[in-house]
Amino acid sequence: MRILIISDIHANLGALDKVLIDAGTFDKVWCLGDVVGYGPQPNITIERLRSLDALCIAGNHDWAVLDRLDLDEFNPEARKAVLWTRQQLDLINLEWLKQLPERVPTQAEKFSLIHGSPRYPIWEYILTPPIARANFEYFDTPFCFFGHTHVPIIYQFSEKEGRAIAHELPEILSVPLGPEKMLVNPGSVGQPRDGDTRAAYAILNLDSMTLTHHRVRYDIKSTQVKMQQAGLPSRLIQRLGQGW
Ligand SMILES: [Zn+2]
């Protein structure tokens, strides 16, 4: 069974559709939150995930759009995008956002899915091995997928050393999962922040228990034009072309 794992789409439909084509066949989609915010096509992006029957959890931008988070916590551009998204969303898509859980254990309790961190699912950024180390205490499954930082990475828990070890996620190469606990970030579909502008995703093969990380080019210009037309902040438009 092949599972497509995506995160931080941020209403960038052009990037999402390219990922869906590039991924080939898959049996399920797991989505790690921040479906909307920043990008220009929130309704169709949600509709795409609904049509795929994706197993999806909530991110901080999704919650902000639902008025569940204090907008003062967001920078001015992100706040502007949240307010714009709020005005755009159809009722049915808002309802879909509302029912997204904060975390799920899934697939025979082998995997946890969260947006930020197991400790604080909506807000905490796992940016360093010590933060990852602290978070290994907060999930019971062998593996946990997370997003939020928009940077692909694997943190492996070394029992012998009592610390988390960071590994870059190599492109295309199959990475075996286990035997130790792991925290895995597939990167961002709609706003990569690791200096690589291509959309990021991962394929989990449950038969071989391996993970492959993929990057795919999409029409950045077309997304940027749509953002311009929507009147979204220029800083958000620029960053897509630079990968930060
Ligand atoms: Zn995000």
Please give the pLDDT value at position 182: 98
Give distance in angstroms: CA of 34 to centre of ligand 1.
5
Residue 216 pLDDT level (bands cut at 50, 70, 90): very high
Q: Which of 210, 202, 164, 199 is nearest to 183 (CA)?
A: 164
pLDDT at 71 exceeding the cut of 70: yes
Angle at the Cα of 200 from the Cα atoms of 154 and 32, rounded to 5 degrees:
70
Give distance in angstroms: CA of 38 to centre of ligand 1.
9
Give distance in angstroms: CA of 207 to centre of ligand 1.
30
Report percent pLDDT > 90 for the chain. Answer: 96
Give distance in angstroms: CA of 62 to centre of ligand 1.
9
Q: Which superfamily is assigned to 2-240 in CATH? A: Metallo-dependent phosphatases (3.60.21.10)
pLDDT at 107 exceeding the cut of 70: no
Q: Where are the domains of the chain?
A: 2-240
- For β-strands 163-167 and 182-185, DSSP reports them as unpaired
Q: How far apart are CA 224 and CA 143, in angstroms?
A: 35
What tens digit of pLDDT does each residue of 156-195 get? Answer: 999 999 999 999 998 988 999 999 999 999 999 999 999 9
Give distance in angstroms: CA of 178 to centre of ligand 1.
27
Q: 96 phi and psi, to 5 degrees?
A: -65, -45
Single-letter amino acid, residue 47: E
Peptide bond preceding 179 in cis form (omega within 30 of 0) = yes
What tens digit of pLDDT does each residue of 108-124 get? Answer: 689 999 999 999 999 99
Give distance in angstroms: CA of 243 to centre of ligand 1.
13
